[in-house]
Chain A
Amino acid sequence: MSKMKPYGQIGITEAQIDMLGVAENFCREKSPIDKVRAQMETELGYDADVWKEMGALGWLGVAVPEEFGGVGLSLTEVTPVAEQLGRYMLSTPFASTTLAAQALIVGGAKSQKSEVLPQIANGRAATLALSEHNGDWELENIETTAAQDKAGYRLTGTKTFVMNLMSAHWVIISAMLEGKPALFCVSKSELPNDNIRRETLVDETKRSYELTLEELLVGAETLMELDKASVTLKHIHLAANLLSAAELTGGCQSCIDYTVEYLKTRKQFGKLIGSYQALKHPTVDAFVDYQKSRSLLYAAAYSFDTQDIAVGVGEIAVRMAKAQADKAMSFAADRSIQFHGGFGFTYDCDAQLYRRRAIFNASQYGDARYHKGKLAELLF
């Protein structure tokens, strides 16, 4: 009988622990829940000053190589930031910018890297335009087309879930070029504002846009390395799921804290409701799921760059982390609404914020069931 292979292991780097502490303090201070709710009402969706501070702290450059003005670490050290942002529901273009940088690191042309990465590392936002109306999580299922033109390429199609597009300076757009996936790094200023529409999201702390491309002419220099497009899309898929798992895991922790606080203070029939096992036991189950989620997350973070993704270890660890994080936060938040009783049904109860967050994160880059299907292919 073959023994189960270790699918990633937990390790910690000193920089990772530093990031965890710094990010926790920062997010706690900058993002109390009333501020989160206030930002939900704004058009931009986040506090521009806070975003500026994050840039000044160098967080956008953590995983950017030193030669391009970054710190030269990896997503291992970025994960704790994403976790704490999720924990305190601090919405910013952090994830979309980090992923755009990752796309350039893996699949950008030399000139694109030298031009864009230093600016991202300096705190300028970027984003990805990959999803389409087909709603497919497979990033290579692309209907947008790129047609070669004398002056460059003409892009035609509709992109959805372009996160924080209004704040971005660059957008990485996927399109089919002569039947194969291709990526273009386009300056936001090239996109006509009339072709951008804000989407209504289940998670009101986030901002995304639909981008319509009508034979948009982009220069030849916007094309990223053509032979690396597939690898880049795969890398983005996994990196996005790692960050999403981190955000879910952090959010799950807050959600459980929020529920527990209510169970410790609300009385019915003369007793604190947390003393009833019908509420206590599912809350413990949520907590156990959260703890598993955190362990799987840190293994995924540690395996992501220290092990070869080609052999599947990093991929398995990331998919396990996302599947578990989706399960854990979805359950914790679902029960949080229920256990708050009548109050749980109101807009004022924060349980809805957590539940909506979990639904949204499951909707992007694959939910638990999707990743388990992928894991079956990898593991069996």
Chain B
Amino acid sequence: MNAEVQEEVQEFAKEADAWFAVNTPAKPDFMLPLTFMEVGTDEQFEFLRDWQRKVYEAGYLGAAWPKEYGGGGLSQAHQDAATAAMRKYDAPIMFNTIGLGWAGPLILDIGTEAHKKKYIKGILNAEDVWCQGFSEPEHGSDLGNAQLKAVREGDEYVLNGSKIWTTHGHFAKYMILLARTDQEAPNKYAGLSFFLSPMRVAGIETVKIRKLTGEHGFTQTFFTDARIPADGLMGSEGHGWKIAMQTLMYERNAKGGQAGGYSITEVNPLEILDLARKAERGGKPVLDDPVIRERLVDFMIEAQAFKLNAERAKLPPLNQDCPQAIPLMSKLMMTEYMREINQFALSLQGTKSGYYVGEKNAVDDGYWHRGYLNAFSATIGGGTSQIQRNIIGEHALSLPKTR
């Protein structure tokens, strides 16, 4: 980066900092989702949609995306500066993640001119919410075995089957969809195709799924002779698996190009420290317990290592022995950390860990209980932690395939 650009970025960072200092909204009187996967109620949805639009209009989302499609036309460093300002002021998440983080970069990379013109701006201003149709009731980790059928009829494809764990299914206007166009293909992967599909057409029905927390957050999506335009096909028929894999690279942050912001509120170990200070055992703060202290330090080291890994990934001389290692492991590391630290938070609450959301005596209104149970959405979704270990083992360490 030359000095002139560097100066521009610094100026932009200053403006962003000032903007988020003033505009970051106060916490509403309802619980905000901690992650994009937890948008369950209309009031949560409306709050986050309005917030995303406001950030976009101020120029702090999609800053590095091309101007002609609605982006800011600036550099990634500009967007990173804006995202850093969001973090600094603990701003609410950018909830349209599937559009901003997965579909958007994919469309910009391999979509047609028409796709880019049609979809990019709506992703950024939250006009168009996106969802993802990958998993099926019988095919979760074994994604390559997806069976939803897409049959070409003239200018349309006719869809039959069902998708599950559709985050934002209820709110979405579009879906990135993995479907089987060829039953006779030589292997399961070769029969798959990738679509940008509308959601609001006859024959597509979403049914809310109740999560382990008791909340609603995603849907099962049923396709019954649903007709979608054929121009939503990405690439050509039979190339779906490769495109789905590229999408998962964005999803797991193993590939860049996302619009910016963050979709998960990270737990800061210092918040847990506060819990340990307040909780008592034998009349003394739990924080005096050496076992608890060691665990807390473990979480701090983990959080620090995660941050430093991201820094080291940008320094080729310090990662050239295995450049893909850090990107491949970040999903596993982050999601397992979130699950563990939320779980640990429960153990710092004494009898009160028996309460739940809705109980007035609950610690932090049951925030940690909800956080722990919801954390599984990330350790399971997007490829379970067990699948992640297979991927890291096979791609970073070249271990023999498990299948």
Report which A residues bind B (CB closer than 8 A).
1-4, 6-10, 12, 17, 20, 253, 256, 260, 263-264, 271-272, 274-277, 280-281, 283-285, 287-288, 291-296, 298-299, 320, 323-324, 369, 372-373, 375-376, 379-380
Q: From residue 298 to 335 of chain B, which have CB atoms closer than 8 A to chain A?
A: 298, 300-309, 311-312, 315, 317-318, 321, 325-326, 329, 332-333
Q: Within 8 Å of chain A (Cβ to Cβ): is B390?
A: yes
Q: Within 8 Å of chain A (Cβ to Cβ): is B389?
A: yes
Is A375 in contact with B300, judged by CB distance below 8 angstroms? yes
Q: From residue 279 to 315 of chain B, which have CB atoms closer than 8 A to chain A?
A: 287, 290, 293-294, 296-298, 300-309, 311-312, 315
Q: A4-B300, A380-B287 known; A280 and B307 CB under 8 Å? A: no
Is B317 in contact with A20, judged by CB distance below 8 angstroms? yes
- From B290, B332, B386, A277 is in contact (CB under 8 Å) with B386
Is B268 in contact with A296, judged by CB distance below 8 angstroms? no
A35 CA to B13 CA, complexed, in Å:
54
Is B400 in contact with A9, judged by CB distance below 8 angstroms? no
Please name all residues of chain B whose beta carbon is closer than 8 Å to the beta carbon of A272 when the two chains form the complex: 400
Please name all residues of chain A whose beta carbon is closer than 8 Å to the beta carbon of B351 when the two chains form the complex: none
Give the distance to chain B from A247, nearest Cβ to Cβ, in Å.
17
Is B318 in contact with A287, judged by CB distance below 8 angstroms? no
- From A1, A275, A287, A373, B396 is in contact (CB under 8 Å) with A287
- From B88, B297, B305, A295 is in contact (CB under 8 Å) with B305
Interface 0/1 of B209-244, CB less than 8 Å to A: 000000000000000000000000000000000000
Is B308 in contact with A9, judged by CB distance below 8 angstroms? yes
Please name all residues of chain B whose beta carbon is closer than 8 Å to the beta carbon of A323 when the two chains form the complex: 297, 301
Please name all residues of chain B whose beta carbon is closer than 8 Å to the beta carbon of A256 when the two chains form the complex: 397
Is A373 in contact with B389, judged by CB distance below 8 angstroms? no
Give the distance to chain A from B84, nearest Cβ to Cβ, in Å.
11
- From A1, A6, A8, A291, B329 is in contact (CB under 8 Å) with A291
Number of chain B interface residues as a range: 35 or more
Is A3 in contact with B389, judged by CB distance below 8 angstroms? no
Q: From residue 233 to 282 of chain B, which have CB atoms closer than 8 A to chain A?
A: 268-271, 273-274
Is A10 in contact with B311, judged by CB distance below 8 angstroms? yes
Q: A284-B397, A372-B294 known; A380 and B273 CB under 8 Å? A: yes
Q: Within 8 Å of chain A (Cβ to Cβ): is B2?
A: no
Please name all residues of chain A whose beta carbon is closer than 8 Å to the beta carbon of B398 when the two chains form the complex: 260, 264
Q: From residue 164 to 215 of chain B, which have CB atoms closer than 8 A to chain A?
A: none
Please name all residues of chain B whose beta carbon is closer than 8 Å to the beta carbon of A296 when the two chains form the complex: 301, 304-305, 308
Q: Within 8 Å of chain A (Cβ to Cβ): is B74?
A: no
Interface residue SS majority, chain B: helix
Please name all residues of chain A whose beta carbon is closer than 8 Å to the beta carbon of B273 when the two chains form the complex: 380
- From A7, A283, A285, A287, B304 is in contact (CB under 8 Å) with A7
Q: Within 8 Å of chain A (Cβ to Cβ): is B18?
A: no
A6 CA to B88 CA, complexed, in Å:
13
Is A280 in contact with B311, judged by CB distance below 8 angstroms? no
Q: Within 8 Å of chain A (Cβ to Cβ): is B66?
A: no
Residue of B nearest to A6 (CB): B307
Q: A260-B398, A284-B397, A291-B326 known; A373 and B290 CB under 8 Å? A: yes
A7 CA to B317 CA, complexed, in Å:
22
Q: Within 8 Å of chain A (Cβ to Cβ): is B393?
A: yes
Q: A284-B392, A285-B389, A287-B397 known; A1 and B305 CB under 8 Å? A: no
A8 CA to B304 CA, complexed, in Å:
9
Please name all residues of chain A whose beta carbon is closer than 8 Å to the beta carbon of B296 when the two chains form the complex: 376, 380
A100 CA to B150 CA, complexed, in Å:
72
